[in-house]
Amino acid sequence: MTTNTVPQQQSMSKNFAPLIVDVAVPLGSYYLFKDGFGTSTFAALAWSSVVPALRTVWGAVKERRTNALAGLILVVNVVSLLLSFVSGDPRLMLAKDGAVSSTIAVGILVSVALGKPMMTAGMKPFLVKGDTAREAAWERLESGASSRSADFLRKERVFSLVWGAVLLAECVARVVGAYTIPVDTMVWLGGVVMAVSILGGMLVSGALAAGPMESMVAAEVKDAQKKAAQVRELELAR
């Protein structure tokens, strides 16, 4: 294993850790308890809330900050737990699926208003790609140390705004559809609405934010490499 490989693996682990711990573990544990152990939906939601609850408390008490991803997953689970008591009306059961989307959407939009766009944590690993040079470039752009920083931070906010708007629109579509479209149709159409929303969010956020941000990261890496080469030339010239 080369010396360059170790830092890259460490960088990749560091960047993907929030997604794994705050999102993948709660979702995976939900399906494990529900489908693997055969527990009720309520019990699966309750048990899968343990990790995000602990992460949220740990961030507040020990790290003196709010863990946005873990907090959002916890809120979504709590909303789902409350909605699990809703039964009887099939249209209401279909409409409640939109409540989860709206909860996530509101959380994302609030994070933008607070100046800490939540979706950045999910986007960063895919733009940094475990490369230490790209991660260093990202840090410079986020810290304001680059001439591109203002535009970069603006694109961060745009990325989260797009996903907040997309999920809010999905919620509206699900609720409207639940009360205007035949139940049998809406049962399968809900999945189509979700798929279209995710695809649309990826395309729009990619064009408006992720694509330009990736270009800025790449340009920042080139600038750093150019400066490093100039420093080496000056040192050799002495």
pLDDT digits (tens, 9 = 90+) for 88-135: 567 776 777 677 778 888 888 998 998 989 889 888 888 998 899 999
Pair (99, 81) in one structural domain: no
Pair (42, 141) in one structural domain: no
Pair (65, 101) in one structural domain: no
Pair (127, 35) in one structural domain: no
Pair (137, 27) in one structural domain: no
- Tens of pLDDT, residue by residue over 21-40, are 656 666 677 778 777 777 77
Domain boundary among the residues 65, 85, 105 is at 85
Pair (81, 107) in one structural domain: no
Please give the C-alpha separations between residue 185 and each of 91, 168, 192, 201, in angstroms, as whole numbers. Answer: 11, 21, 11, 24
Pair (66, 149) in one structural domain: no
Domain boundary among the residues 85, 104, 137 is at 85
More confident residue, 89 or 214: 214
Residues ≥6 apart with Cβ < 8 Å to 132 = 4, 7, 8, 11
Using the predicted structure, report yes or no on whether residue 2 has a pLDDT greater than 70: no
Dihedral, 104, 51, 15, 36 alpha carbons, nearest 10 = -90
Inter-residue contact 179 to 141 (CB < 8 Å): no
Model confidence at 183, in pLDDT bands (50, 70, 90)? confident
Q: Which domain holds residue 192?
A: 94-238
- Counted residue by residue, the chain has a size of 238
Pair (74, 108) in one structural domain: no
Domain boundary among the residues 85, 120, 155 is at 85
Pair (99, 217) in one structural domain: yes
Pair (38, 127) in one structural domain: no
Average pLDDT over residues 139-167: 95
Number of domains in the chain: 2
pTM for the full predicted model: 0.73
Pair (34, 148) in one structural domain: no
Pair (57, 101) in one structural domain: no
